[in-house]
Structure 1
């Protein structure tokens, strides 16, 4: 049995905002022949500056993903942008003019999109911290959320992403930057910039590389940290540049968490035991199961991102059989799409996805939409696991969690 869960947030400052707008796919930017003819006279920088702001931002983003640009993705064009264009033209054996023709622009766009798809690049708003950012969800499917701290890890911990949200009364960006520099004895800073409202640090930490961007607004401090093995540098360097540009620590309009959020629960015994993700019910003052009443959280495992709920006074529910295991290939994710998108209804929905092994973890593609956190993934008629965004919590993990808390899986 699949249930709709409604949770009431305890922390008013945490946010669940719509995902940050995705830049439209950069269509081939057609540079008029007259502009090409003027390149020599005006200079490549002037020609690129004549593009629209959206096209300049998309161009810089694609150059960064292709590994040719390492700078702010803000549409401001200078010699670094033109040098990146020439580097790309050289890589495809084109003439190094500093201005892309339509065919070159299309090749660049395709290369960037392929890299984004390979890492599962997704723009999200983190509900625990209220921060908007881009994430390589295929590389970091393991998410753990706690008060003021959210982390995403790769299955083997070769990549770690951390968001921090905390009060820092009396602090300055200079003092916070110094604290980050000394966060661990292994940390060696090779780049640092400190401004009145933000700081950026990068360097090495043992056999890993790190990037930290911290922003201070009043007494509130939000920070993004990315730590990754140097062996993954080829993949992660463009990702870090993209993450830096996509990072919005204080979204316009505030960061108030909606009073009500929704997720999916799975009945795991006939006497009112319900399974969902720990993240779905974190920081909630009450949990309501549609048509069945209030539930209490009786157990959780933050590392596995699982929570066990209990409906009291409810008998005769039909438990979902939890035998089976995930196999790479097609799965059906059965859950309840966000009731807010159903005009208050709680209809059960089925979406198709692909399950795959990503290192030591499991991944779903495409990631299920809002409301499907805690949904059951089925391979044929066999239980494969629990959906958690782009990650899949495997059936063995689910059964071990339930066994540890006295639930014999059906």
Structure 2
């Protein structure tokens, strides 16, 4: 007689209540959904790509989509292969069937629906047919049984569990094989996160799943201990994702592999606390180190955790025994889940070894490259840089509105963040406040009276924007105290100024500020001959300062300043104002 049968009926015939095939099964869980409808839809999608998709309701009430079954030793390799090829989500993992309850996929396996017809025939138990050999699998261990099986682990087995839990972020203690309160709490947290009862004691199946998934991650990322004797650094790197490229002291470059989007730069140079501080400042100028994110720095080390919508990076360096050593890791923010598994391995494994730092002469470089410490790395550049000058002892700055138009952020002298507190399109003036109070060497002393036409003047500014490290003085003459069409508040100068000088102070022979240099060209205006420039007069500037709540200082000196004094006054108050995306 031909009958339709389900597994439970067959078990009843066999007289067994918990049977499985002799070989233990493992699955690769790719997703879990909170509702049956969502789970069926996703299972259908996976079934279009994979021939071995199954779905089970979990003991937690969620619905798991799995691939398999596989032999346990094959499951980890399958997981690694599928994850590395991008065929399944990166948070997929190996599991057993301990939490599987009602099967919902394939659809014919759902309770209440007819299963496919089989050719099995019910026989009279008294006939005692030759039945297939089956093995009764033990039920999930009790806490006592789990402790007993745990006690049989050797030291390496216990350490392996701690290592795996640390890899997944559940354990932060030492890898010592001692299962104290910290390890037990970590085990409970892992169990809870994976849908098991949080007993703090892993069963045999749970231990096997944890270690198998850890080994799959190691295979996927290709972790290996890397020793760089030239740099005196040892670190564990994911060599399936990065590969050595070249030395450019003080950097050792590991570039992306297989389009991973991951880069690792090791840092090694002779130096002390000053070198560490300089390195910290230099890294901030790199395109791969966004301005947003957390920073921490002291005399011994620093960390930078920088992030934008396009790039994320983490840097660490320390000064020790006359050497500065560290690393910079760069990745795509979309790879956050993958990096949550990779970055802890780099952090925990990095160490400086020996008494050797990367030799600056290891590869030939010109002096400019070596002094900048930026070989092979793209430096962040502002959209625009102009000049400005301090107007009080707190570091308030006046500049041109051109320097702050449509900026994501504004800096003073590259390093200090500033905010725009006032700007006036009519006069062309903008006023900045530094994010932290500054102590300028000099600030503007504004001229109180008129100046004789034809007098020599000096313009202090960053003529070449950010290409030079300091401002320069450009000399010229005062031609007229009004605009070409008779506009009040303007001074016309004859001086060979450049675009970067705009926003800088115009000084008379005593060092008093006569005004602020304005940009040479305005959209839609006529082009002026070379050497013709205009400045907003001192009265216009002081009026704007007063309106912004800043008290301007009036110059009192009447004697001509010496060249050194004029340099000190003009260059000491002038700053580089940069506009960034």
**Would the TM-score normalized by the shorter structure come out above 0.5?**
no
Structure 1 length-normalised TM:
0.44
Q: Which has the higher strand share?
A: 1
Q: Which has the higher contact order (CA 8 A, sep 6+)?
A: 1
Structure number with greater Rg is 2
Structure 2 length-normalised TM:
0.32
